[in-house]
């Protein structure tokens, strides 16, 4: 699993939740168990109480289960019975969706999709990567991953990312990109007006700014440049733009729309 090696390298806790149509919210967050000996209810915490969560095929569970997970993502806490428990920090949720098989699935509503910071599209590996996959799976040696970081190091890095300098011109650039998806006619993008059903929310602006800072941090810079915004824009925005039936009929994707927006918005 992609998060298991990551959690091992960071010396953190990992949980994998396989989402199925019969999954209940209690299977994710936990529930109260009656203790006959003590004649009282005890809290049994669910798999959500970990640093890294893999929600496998999240769209296979009904909306009430998805809501239980995404509420925990937003509030960073879970209420079981009359008690409220803070979730462990850092807390990261990775959700997967099968793009091919759609029978028996429950698509996430737009407001719930908006809770995820990034949406990555993972295609087939190239030839060299495929060869490496074959070798790793047929090798008799088991690769062991040793911790190189502590969770405290991640929290410190997060604090440093927020301190990365973002000029007011970059802030305006981010706002212009998001507003161009909401009001394309006002940004010389009249051809997109019939293709966009709804544009990015305020969370799009927040996450685009935060992701740009994180990208600058990875590039060992203490300030954000327009290229940082462009580098993360597709991953931040592609699940936050709703397309019309006309766009789907013409095989227009959100990535194409984002390209048009980036070409039209003036770069500072």
φ/ψ of 96, rounded to 5, equals: -115, 150
For the domain made up of 160-264, the CATH class stated in words is: mainly alpha
CATH T-level topology, domain 3-116:
Rossmann fold (3.40.50)
Torsion of CA 195, 174, 239, 18, to 10 degrees: 180
pLDDT in tens, 153-176: 889 999 999 999 999 999 999 999
Per DSSP, the three-state class of 116 is coil
Report d(CA 246, CA 159) in Å as an integer: 43
pLDDT in tens, 75-134: 888 888 888 889 888 888 888 887 666 666 777 778 778 889 999 988 899 999 999 989
Which residues of the chain form CATH 3.40.50.300?
3-116
Q: 1 pLDDT band (50/70/90 cuts)?
A: very low
3 Cβ neighbours under 8 A, 6+ residues apart: 14, 16, 52, 53, 54, 92, 94
Which residues of the chain form CATH 1.10.8.80?
160-264
pLDDT in tens, 204-251: 999 999 999 999 999 999 999 999 999 999 999 999 998 889 888 888
């Amino acid at each position: 699993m992609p998060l298991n090696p990551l959690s091992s390298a960071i010396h953190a806790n990992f949980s994998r939740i396989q989402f199925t149509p019969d999954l209940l919210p209690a299977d994710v967050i936990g529930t109260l168990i009656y203790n006959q000996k003590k004649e009282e209810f005890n809290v049994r915490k669910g798999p959500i109480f970990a640093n890294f969560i893999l929600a496998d095929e999240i769209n296979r569970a009904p909306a009430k289960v998805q809501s239980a997970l995404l509420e925990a993502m937003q509030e960073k806490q879970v209420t079981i019975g009359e008690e409220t428990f803070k979730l462990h920090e850092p807390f990261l949720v990775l959700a997967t969706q099968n793009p091919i098989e759609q029978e028996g699935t429950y698509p996430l509503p737009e407001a719930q999709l908006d809770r995820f910071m990034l949406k990555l599209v993972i295609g087939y590996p190239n030839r060299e990567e495929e060869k490496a996959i074959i070798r790793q799976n047929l090798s008799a040696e088991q690769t062991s991953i040793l911790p190189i970081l502590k969770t405290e190091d991640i929290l410190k890095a997060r604090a440093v990312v927020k301190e990365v300098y973002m000029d007011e011109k970059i802030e305006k650039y981010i706002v212009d990109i998001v507003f161009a998806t909401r009001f394309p006619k006002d940004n010389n993008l009249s051809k997109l007006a019939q293709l966009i059903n709804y544009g990015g929310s305020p969370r799009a602006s927040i996450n685009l700014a935060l992701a740009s800072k994180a990208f600058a941090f990875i590039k060992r810079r203490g300030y954000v440049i327009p290229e940082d915004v462009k580098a993360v824009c597709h991953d931040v925005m592609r699940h936050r733009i709703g397309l019309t039936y006309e766009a789907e009929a013409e095989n227009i994707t959100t990535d194409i729309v984002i390209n048009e927006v980036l070409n039209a918005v003036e770069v500072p």
